[in-house]
Amino acid sequence: MASGYLVRQGDRCDTVSVLLDGYCYGQKDDGEGNCQIVSLAIPNDVIGLEHLYLQTTDHNVRALTTVDVAMIPLSAVQQLSASRPAVAHALGIHHAINHAIAREWIVNIGARDGLRRVAHFLCEFAVRCDAWRSDTAAGYELPMSQEQIGQATGLTAVHVNRMLKTLHAAGLIERSWRNVVFSNWEGLRDVACFSSDYLHPGRQVPAPGYRTV
């Protein structure tokens, strides 16, 4: 169910999850009720690889939409990784790419202005989704409120709204509710100074329709 918890901060988890359908996000708060979205998971992502090494969860994982999740016992993942080096290698790559995305989010919040933050966030989400969608020519659904985009980019919902309107006025995107269409993909990439290198597309198994941008 959307907004439901898959994992709560402080939980002791004995599973690793594979997101089969829908979207999830990682979330932390500052102890005073202010929340920060620290990660997004899209279909085929593995959630909770850190549980292989850490006993206690240090953040919440919540459903952004209705989700379908396969939960695998840690013991089974550990046994499979020990007997199949290729599986262990693939999980290691996935974990490393997650860290690369986290580093880029730090740069996004710490070094980019509001317009570039939102543009970069839109570009990243589109490229990541294109790794499993077969057709994004008509755009894609961004299943996040402006408040949630703000929690991921360190902006207020009002500021996010202004940035989206600016990108629309510049002819770079079109938005209808939560559907985003790229009127000028190259222009949006230029505004964001976006490069997909940190997503390491060559280190992942491409799905039908995958393209490097």
Report the pLDDT value the prediction gives residue 132, as an integer from 0 to 100: 54
Provide the 8-state DSSP code for 32.
Answer: S
- Look up the CATH architecture of domain 5-83: Sandwich (2.60)
Provide the 8-state DSSP code for 65.
Answer: S
Hey, what's the torsion of the CAs at 136, 20, 103, 154, to 10 degrees?
70
Alpha-carbon distance 31 to 17, whole Å?
A: 27
Provide the 8-state DSSP code for 55.
Answer: S
Q: Are 199 and 118 in contact (CB under 8 A)?
A: no
In the chain, domain spans: 5-83, 105-203
Task: Name residue 17's amino acid.
Answer: S
Q: 5-83 and 105-203 share one CATH topology?
A: no
Report the pLDDT value the prediction gives residue 193, as an integer from 0 to 100: 96
Report the pLDDT value the prediction gives residue 96, as an integer from 0 to 100: 94
Report the pLDDT value the prediction gives residue 157, as an integer from 0 to 100: 96
105-203: CATH number? 1.10.10.10
pTM: 0.88
Alpha-carbon distance 74 to 49, whole Å?
A: 9
Report the pLDDT value the prediction gives residue 204, as an integer from 0 to 100: 52
Task: Name residue 130's amino acid.
Answer: D
Report the pLDDT value the prediction gives residue 211, as an integer from 0 to 100: 37
Q: What is the mean pLDDT of each run of 10 residues along the chain (213 residues)?
A: 86 93 94 92 93 90 95 94 94 94 97 98 91 61 93 97 96 88 92 95 47 36
Q: Are 46 and 98 in contact (CB under 8 A)?
A: no
